[in-house]
Every structure is written in C-alpha cells, then in structure tokens.
C-alpha cells in the first residue's frame, strides 16, 4: 500500500510541475508575442515615416517612464510639435494641442471618431456602460438624461443648500487659520475633504465623512473608488495588463478587489434607495441623482436595470469628485500667488453679498450667498475660468478613428489611430 501511495504522490507532483511548466511556457510565449508584435509594428512605423503622418516622437515606454509627470510630458510634446504620434502595441496614438485639429475631431468630423475598442476595453471593467465608455444609442440616452438632471434649475432647486453648507464649514476653518496666522494644508483638512466629496451627497444622498470612521463601508468604498481610478488609468501604459488580469496578479488583482467593493456598495445602495423611495413622493423623491435615475428607470426597467444604474452613477462620480477637489486646490493656489487678484475677488464677494465689517457670522454670510448675488460676480467667474484654463479638471481626453481622415493641418489619420487632445498642454504652449 505504501509503495502505491508513494507512486500516486510522485505522479501528482509530476502533474503539478507539468501544469506549472505549461503555464510558464504559455505566459512566456504571450509576453514574447506581445513584444515581437510591438517591435515589428514600431519598426514598420519608424522606417516608413510618411511625410503626411504626424511626427513620430516615441513609444508607449516614453509615456510609462514619465507617467508620474505625464501632463508635463505632454507640454514637451506640444512644444516639439503641435501634433505628434506615439507607437503603442498594434496602433499609433496621436496627441495634439492644435485647436483646429481638436475642433475637427470633436465637431467637424465628429462622426468619424468614437471611444474605440482600445479605450473601451481599458475602462469597461470599472465604468461598464457609463457615458464615458459607450457610443451610439446608450451615449445619447445618458446624455439626454444628464442634460435634464444637471440643468441650472435642477441644481439650484435641489443642491444649493448642500454646496452652501459645505462651503460654510470650509470657510470657517480657513478664516480661523487666517485670523490666527496659521499655515494649513487645505488638502488634509476634514472640511476640505468633505467639500471635495460633496458629490456623494449630490449623487447618492449621503454624506461621506472621510475621517470620522462612522460609516466604514462608505469610507471603504471611497478608498476603493480612488484606487480603481488610478489603476485603470495606469492600464494605458501597461502592455501586459490583460495578462495580469487573466492571471489575477499584481495591479489587476488589486483592481478586481476594488471593483468588487464598489459593485457591492453601489448595488446595495440602489436596493436600499428603491425601498426608501417607496414611501416618498414629490420633490423629496428626487433629492439626489441616484433617486432621479431610479424614477426614470421605472419607465424603462428593461434597459435601466441596477447594473446600468451603477454604471451611470459611477460615471457622474468620476466626472465630479476629483475634478472639484483639484480645481479648488489650484484656485486657492493661484489666489495665494496673485494677491492683487485675491483682493479683487474678496472685494467683489463682499459687495454683492452686502457684507460689512460688523458682520461676523459665517451662517449669515452663507444665507446671503444666493444665486442672484453669485451671478453678479463676474470677476470671480473670470478667475475660476482662468484657473480651469491653466489647470483643467480633465487634463487629457481622447477618441479613436473609425475610418481614415485628413486633419486640418494636412496630416493623415488611419483607421485605429488614437486621437488625444492635450488640454493641459494647450495652456502651457
């Protein structure tokens, strides 16, 4: 019996070793295949160098090597040529800071460009069928819904109190620091983080206090959402992310765990929200974005199921959360760097809010901060707009060519080319 067991164990060991060897061989062949394919494509692109194609400036490895300062790298591209080309595995990525080219791909010849398979495959795991991933009917459907839900009237009617309350908390903290001449780091202030995450209140109908620990699932969701965004964005310069996803290792294993946390949280929230809304009617039933889309889904339950609602809401979160926080950071930075502008902004605010030296209550100030007063603050609007031009909330965006095209500068685009417009770089060149 013992020799038989020993023989079985040896056979099992051989099978395990054989399976590992086979897996290692398959992985090695996959990596070699990707590298060889990339090398062949690059050599072909480099040697042909057609005069009517955007100048070839490098490969995906240049992007990877400078990923931690990628937007400054884009400035270098734009200073070298207004429109350049980088080689990726199997296709070229065109990057441009030329306004005429950008108008061409986003307006004049809009129909020739879509999200494309490369962009879609890269972000679908996180964003599903959200507006930043889809094209065609789903894109039009979500855009139509969003254009109504985010109209000026809707935002004023339902969201003004949320923004004012969070602004008051942040203003009280910064005012106290200024009065006591204390240096503070805005981005680590609980009040600042609450304002940056006010979109959770607007989107889901709950507050997210990132430091209190009162709701562990909310905090876990927020952390997972931030990590997933970062990992998905890194896929654009990772040639082997699909292999890592298949093997569930490294960054892709982290991403899978983060998406699981996100999915569980949002789906559970949708279910809870549906139950709550059964006993609510009127304006209260439309008190946040999720509630409004749930009501809309009742008209088309086949299309707008829970998974689709999850994708829509996550798209709004990515469009609003970090963009708001980053813009606030840069705006305060620019005011500190330009004290004359800071004084003019402060003077205009005091004038239209009718704020005097005798007024000391931040609550009174906030109560006077109505849209009628804000609409008169043209200098403040110009300062914020200038900040957005220099430090845009979306520094780069792109599409892919569905067919061949010729750009206004005479350069040729071939089917499958990525078309990226470098918004950040445009203000620096």
pLDDT at 27: 74
Residue 411 pLDDT > 80: yes
pLDDT at 16: 55
Residues 306-364 pLDDT 10s: 888 888 888 877 777 778 778 888 999 999 999 999 999 999 988 888 877 666 677 77
Report yes or no: 265 and 290 within 8 Å, Cβ to Cβ.
no
**What is the mean predicted confidence (pLDDT) over 211-224?**
68
Report the mean per-residue pLDDT for the chain.
81
289-296 contacts at long range (C-beta below 8 A, 24 or more positions apart): 289/149, 289/202, 289/203, 289/204, 289/313, 289/316, 290/203, 290/204, 290/205, 291/205, 292/149, 293/145, 293/149, 294/270, 296/145
Q: Which residue has the higher pLDDT, 372 or 209?
A: 372
Residue 40 pLDDT > 90: no
Q: Which residue has the higher pLDDT, 163 or 230?
A: 230
pLDDT at 152: 58
CB 39: neighbour CB atoms within 10 A?
A: 12
Residue by residue, DSSP assigns 198-249 as HHHHHHHS----TTT-S-HHHHHHHHHHHHHHHHHHHGGG-TTHHHHHHHT-
pLDDT at 19: 66
**H or E element in which residue 421 lies:** strand 418-422
Total-model pTM: 0.79
Q: Which of 62-66, 365-369, 393-397 has the lowest average pLDDT?
A: 365-369
Residues 226-240 pLDDT 10s: 899 999 999 998 988
Contacts of 58 (CB under 8 A, 6+ apart): 86, 87
pLDDT above 90: percentage of residues in the chain: 35
The CATH code that applies to domain 14-124+398-426 is 3.30.43.20
Residue 159 pLDDT > 70: no
Model confidence at 365, pLDDT cuts 50, 70, 90, reads confident
Residues 84-136 pLDDT 10s: 999 988 889 999 999 999 999 999 999 999 988 898 999 999 998 888 888 77
Same fold, 14-124+398-426 and 143-337: no
Domain ranges of the chain: 14-124+398-426, 143-337
Residue 158 pLDDT > 70: no
Say which CATH superfamily domain 143-337 falls into.
Cytochrome P450 (1.10.630.10)
Model confidence at 211, pLDDT cuts 50, 70, 90, reads very low
Residue 183 pLDDT > 70: yes
Residues 7-30 pLDDT 10s: 545 555 555 556 677 767 767 777
**What is the mean predicted confidence (pLDDT) over 164-181?**
80
Q: Which residue has the higher pLDDT, 217 or 202?
A: 217
Residues 47-58 pLDDT 10s: 666 788 999 998
pLDDT at 279: 76
* CA separation for the pair 116, 257 (Å, rounded): 26
**What is the mean predicted confidence (pLDDT) over 296-301?**
80
Select from 126, 123, 119, 115 the least CA-distant residue to 314: 126
Using DSSP, state whether 266 is helix, strand or coil: helix
CA neighbours closer than 13 Å in the CB half-sphere of residue 333: 13
**What is the mean predicted confidence (pLDDT) over 266-272?**
86
């Amino acid at each position: 019996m013992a020799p038989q067991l020993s023989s079985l164990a040896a056979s099992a060991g051989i099978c395990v070793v054989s399976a590992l060897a086979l897996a290692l061989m398959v992985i090695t062949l996959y990596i070699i295949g990707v590298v060889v394919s990339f090398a062949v494509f690059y050599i072909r692109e480099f040697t042909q160098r057609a005069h009517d194609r955007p100048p070839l400036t490098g490969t995906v490895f240049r992007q990877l090597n400078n990923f931690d300062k990628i937007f400054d790298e884009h400035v270098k591209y734009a200073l070298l040529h207004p429109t350049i080309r980088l080689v990726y595995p199997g296709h070229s990525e065109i990057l441009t800071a030329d306004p005429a080219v950008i108008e061409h791909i986003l307006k004049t010849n809009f129909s020739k460009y879509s999200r494309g398979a490369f962009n879609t495959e890269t972000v679908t795991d996180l964003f599903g069928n959200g507006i930043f991933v889809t094209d065609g009917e789903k894109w039009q459907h979500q855009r139509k819904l969003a254009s109504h839900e985010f109209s000026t009237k809707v935002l004023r009617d339902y969201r003004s109190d949320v923004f004012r309350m969070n602004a008051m908390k942040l203003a009280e903290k910064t005012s106290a620091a200024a009065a006591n001449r204390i240096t503070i780091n805005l981005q680590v202030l609980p009040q600042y983080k609450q304002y940056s995450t006010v979109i959770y209140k607007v989107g889901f109908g709950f507050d997210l206090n990132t430091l209190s620990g009162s709701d562990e699932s909310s905090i876990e969701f927020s952390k997972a959402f931030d990590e997933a965004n970062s990992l998905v964005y890194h896929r654009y310069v990772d040639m082997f992310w699909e292999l890592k996803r298949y093997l569930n290792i490294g960054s892709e294993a982290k991403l899978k765990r983060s998406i699981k946390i996100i999915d569980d949280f949002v789906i559970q929230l949708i279910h809870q929200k549906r139950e709550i809304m059964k006993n609510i009617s009127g304006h209260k039933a439309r008190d946040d974005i999720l509630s409004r889309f749930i009501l809309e889904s009742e008209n088309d339950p086949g299309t707008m199921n829970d998974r689709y609602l999850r994708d829509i809401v996550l798209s709004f979160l990515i469009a609003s959360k970090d963009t708001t926080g980053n813009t606030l950071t840069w705006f305060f930075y620019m005011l500190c760097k330009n004290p004359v502008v800071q004084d003019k902004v402060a003077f205009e605010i005091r004038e239209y809010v009718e704020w005097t030296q005798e007024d000391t209550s931040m609550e009174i100030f906030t109560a006077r901060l109505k849209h009628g007063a804000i609409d008169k603050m043209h200098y403040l609007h110009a300062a914020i707009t200038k900040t957005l031009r220099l430090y845009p909330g979306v520094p780069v965006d792109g599409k892919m060519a569905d067919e061949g095209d010729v750009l206004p500068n005479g350069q040729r685009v071939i089917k499958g080319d990525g078309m990226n417009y470098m918004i950040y770089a445009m203000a620096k060149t």
